[in-house]
Amino acid sequence: MRIGIYGGSFNPIHKGHTQLAASIVAQGLVDELWLLVSPLNPLKSGEVSNIAEYEHRLKMAELATEGIEGVNVSDFERHLPLPSYTINTLGELQKAYPEHEFVLVIGADNWERFPRWYHADEIIEKYHILIYRRPGCELDETALPASVQVVDTPLYDVSSTKIRESVKKGRMMRRWLDEKVARYIKRHHLYL
Ligand code: ATP
């Protein structure tokens, strides 16, 4: 099977994430999409002060994707050495599941920073990459490597950072959260 790998801290997971995941599968771009909850993003470790424990982020991702066909949550990176660089994760996935083809799914925001990723050239050489658009990120589609494809998905102007900030101020932004996730955040007093 062709498996899309969609990684992030999902701190917390929101409708921008889930609608995107559902759309990639619905368009038949992959057979399944695995949402990989990362223990720590090497480029973000200094920026995010309010990071919920791994168990919480994983659980919220499971709650939010329940019932979305073809979208699965994976804790694969939890068992890998830190920092969890994408090239290592993809290599380990390929070793663990030689029967599958793994495709990297990233946002245009990440594509802008992609040259800074650890072993970026090797990722491009070995794997297909699907790039989805993000508001405010221009993509120069004339200069993309052959292994890279730009895909159209719904755009939602929301981020986990905005959600964490609003929860802190006592507002839950329920419009952008799965109802079960909103309840989970409240019950476990996250992001206060
Ligand atoms: P933060 O605000 O904490 O940086 P985030 O909302 O950007 O978080 P991440 O956990 O970093 O979420 O997201 C993982 C991936 O999801 C990122 O690569 C990012 O491109 C993508 N993403 C984030 N927000 C959206 C959105 N609204 N629509 C589609 N994709 C999104």
CATH placement of domain 2-157: 3.40.50.620
pLDDT bracket for residue 120 (50, 70, 90): very high
> b/e map of 5-27 (b: 16 or more CB within 10 Å)?
bbbbbbbbbbbbbbbbbbbbbee
| C-alpha 162 – ligand 1 centre gap (Å) | 11
Picking from 51-55, 128-132, 154-158, 161-165, which range would have the lowest pLDDT averaged per residue? 51-55
Instruction: Count how many residues are written for the chain.
Output: 192
Sign of the C-alpha dihedral computed for residues 19, 21, 24 and 27 taken in this order: negative
Q: What is the pLDDT of residues 36-48, one digit of tens each?
A: 999 865 455 555 5
Pocket of ligand 1 (CB under 6 A): 8-11, 16-17, 20, 48, 106-107, 109-110, 134, 156, 158-161
Domain ranges of the chain: 2-157
Q: Determine the pLDDT at residue 128.
A: 98
Exposure on the CB side of residue 142, measured as CA atoms within 13 A: 0
- The protein residue with its alpha carbon nearest to ligand 1, atom 7, reads 159
Among candidate residues 51, 62, 71, the one with its CA nearest the CA of residue 9: 51
Picking from 35-49, 79-93, 101-115, which range would have the lowest pLDDT averaged per residue? 35-49
- Calpha distance 24→30 (Å, rounded): 7
Query: What atom of ligand 1 comes closest to residue 10's alpha carbon?
Result: 10
> What pTM does this model have?
0.91
